[in-house]
Structure formats: C-alpha cells, structure tokens
Amino acid sequence: MPDISNLHIILILIILVVSLFILSKSADLLVDNAVKLSKIWGLSEVVIGATIVSLGTTLPELAASVISAVQGNGEFSVGNAIGSCITNTSLILGVALLFGIIPVRKRQTQKLTIFIIATLLLTIPLVISYFVLGSFKIPQWLGIVMLVILPFYMAFLVIQEKKNPVTKEELEDEEKEIEEEKPKQKIIVLLLLLLVAALLIAVSASFLVDSAEVIALRIGIPDAIIASTLVAFGTSVPELSTAIAATKSKHGGLALGNVLGANILNILFVIGISSVLTVGGIVLSIEFVLINFIALALIIILFSIIAYNGKINKISKREGIILLIFYIAYVIANLLSI
C-alpha cells in the first residue's frame, strides 16, 4: 500500500470518501454475483437470503474492521462495528420513520432478543475484565465463541425464513431480487466478477482504514471515534435508500429486521473476527466504552419497551424524531470526549 500520510488533508478526505464508495459498491457486486452463482448451483432462495445476502450487509464493516485488526488497531475495529449498530438503529431507522410506520412483529422481536443476547455476550466479559484486570478488554477467546455461535444464528435465519417467507414485494424493496428474464451468466464470468469484487473490497478497505487513521492523527481525534462516527456513517448510509423504500411501501418491518440482523452480525461476525485476529485481546478506552456501550444500551431499552409491550405494535414518526435526536447526541458526545 502506498504511504498517504504525507498528502494534503483534502486529498486524504477524498481518498476516504472514494474508498467508502468503492467499498460499498464492491460489496454489492460480490453479493449479487454470489447470489447468481448460488442459484446456478441449485441453492434455495431461503438459504441464499439467510446466508449470502445477510452476511453481505456487513461486508463493508467486516472488511474495514479486519484490515484495522490485522494492522493492530483493534479499537478501530470495535468502533466501526458498534458505531454501525448505533448508526443503523438510530440514524437509518430514524430517517426511514419520517416516511412511514414500521410494524414490530414476532420476527423483529425475535431478532431483537438475539441482538440483546449478543450485546450481553460482548459486554459481560468486558465489564469483568475491568474489575479483574483494571482495563476494558475483549479477550481473544470471546471472538472464538462468537464465531462458533454464528452458524447457529445463520441456521436460525434459515428456519425462520422457511416458517415466515418474505413476500415477493418485500424482496423487491430490498433490491436483492435477480431478474428472471436475464440469461444466466457463465460460471467462469461470475467467478471472475467475485474475484474482482473481493480485490476491490480489500484494497478500498485498506485505503479507508489508512485515510481514517491519518485524518484522526492530523486533527487530534482518537481513531476509534473516527471509526464509530465517520466510518460507521459511511458504511451504513448505503442501506438508507433501501430502508426508506421499504417503509414507504408499507414493508417497514423488513427494514427493521434488516437493521437488527446487521447489528447481530456486526457483533458476532465483525467483532468476532476482529477479536480472533488481535493477539492478547482488544483493549478499549474508558471513554469509548462509556459513550458507545451506554448508547447501545439506551437503544436496546427503547426498542425493548416497544417490542415487548403487547399494546405497542409499531413505531412511527415520533419515535423516528427521537432516534434522530439520539444520533445527534451520540455524535456530540463522541466529539466532547476528545
């Protein structure tokens, strides 16, 4: 990788934005062609939707976090994953709610429960390490546990999909449906496209992490804050148009389910792999933990009040405004912690 640390700050910002764009588009290219290839090989749409498409939603966060973990910056990895969870659940859903109502049904409540369990799985060892070791640390073994749990979660998605299949209209809202009229592409072409997409993801993620770290150093902001705000915003925003489209077409439950699913994968998959790749565990600063994990807890409490209350079965514009205010407060809190 070329050294960009000596470039002008404007050029580095351009590199960061372009890297985010290429990373997002490359992830879409990889998922789309993986879906096509899976269909040619006879994989059912239920399995494809529950595995390839679901995992594909976290590809940008995964790529950036893996690169940063390999470079020894584990806190950046965790900041990206947790920041994406908060951004997805406050900013993305908050904006989507301005365009319609999101129903909260059994499917979404089940995912919220899994999200809470995954968050507790991450948080409890973190708190114990503080009282035992005097520092907040995500141990390497916890990453292994998360990756062991991941296939069981994917199996749950397949079972859930078989019991409650997503409608054709909802698939169109997700913009993941493959047009049947198009002729099937040759396997060799799809494999080449997958290879190109994977290379683009690796290169753009590397430039993204490097540029974010240089920007953080230049302006004196911890790179974990850059990861949890700027980078998390960039990797989450591509899902905004899908969430708005789903809500406007009265399929807001799909948008909520996608967000909760992405949050679960951010913890189990993204933080799991990052922890495994960081020898000795990922040490987090007190300021980072207090801001990000308290924000995560507040988000969970808000959605729990709605999801587990039998009298409330939807969230509307009022909750959307609250979520947007919450996101602004979260960003301000990060900036004030500098």
Summarize pLDDT for 89-108 with one digit per residue, the tens. Answer: 999 999 999 998 888 888 78
What confidence score (pLDDT) does residue 277 get?
Answer: 92
From the list 78, 119, 121, 137, the residue with the least C-alpha distance to 294 is 119
CB 156 within 8 A of CB 114: yes
3-state secondary structure of 137: strand
Largest CA distance in the chain: 61
What confidence score (pLDDT) does residue 145 get?
Answer: 96
What confidence score (pLDDT) does residue 219 get?
Answer: 80
| pLDDT of 178 higher than 50 | no
Domain positions in the chain: 9-336
Share of the chain above pLDDT 70, in %: 89
Confidence of residue 245 (pLDDT cuts 50, 70, 90): confident
What confidence score (pLDDT) does residue 184 get?
Answer: 53
What confidence score (pLDDT) does residue 182 get?
Answer: 47
CB 202 within 8 A of CB 63: yes
Alpha-carbon separation of residue 227 from 10, 48, 180, 251, 314 (angstroms): 18, 30, 39, 31, 32
| pLDDT of 129 higher than 50 | yes
103 vs 257: CA distance, rounded Å: 10
What confidence score (pLDDT) does residue 173 get?
Answer: 47
What confidence score (pLDDT) does residue 284 get?
Answer: 92
Rounded average pLDDT over 43-72: 77
What confidence score (pLDDT) does residue 176 get?
Answer: 45
130 vs 102: CA distance, rounded Å: 38
CATH code of domain 9-336: 1.20.1420.30
DSSP states along 306-322: HHT-TT--EE-HHHHHH
Rounded average pLDDT over 109-114: 90
137 bridge partner residues: 283
Alpha-carbon separation of residue 286 from 13, 53, 120, 132, 179 (angstroms): 28, 35, 18, 15, 49
| pLDDT of 224 higher than 90 | no
Which residues does 59 contact at the CB level (< 8 Å), separation at least 6? 27, 30, 31, 201
Structural tokens at position 238: 């591509």
Name the residue with higher pLDDT: 324 or 170.
324
Rounded average pLDDT over 105-124: 90
224 vs 243: CA distance, rounded Å: 27
73 vs 213: CA distance, rounded Å: 10
Burial of 266 (0-12, 13-18, 19+ CB in 10 A): buried
Name the residue with higher pLDDT: 305 or 56.
305
Name the residue with higher pLDDT: 228 or 8.
228
| pLDDT of 154 higher than 90 | no
DSSP states along 245-284: HHHHTT-HHHHHHHHHHHHHHIIIIIIHHHHHHSTT-EEE
Model confidence pLDDT, tens digit, residues 262-292: 899 999 999 999 999 998 889 999 999 999 9
Alpha-carbon separation of residue 162 from 8, 45, 134, 156, 303 (angstroms): 53, 10, 46, 10, 26
90-94, 187-191, 226-230, 231-235, range with greatest mean pLDDT: 90-94
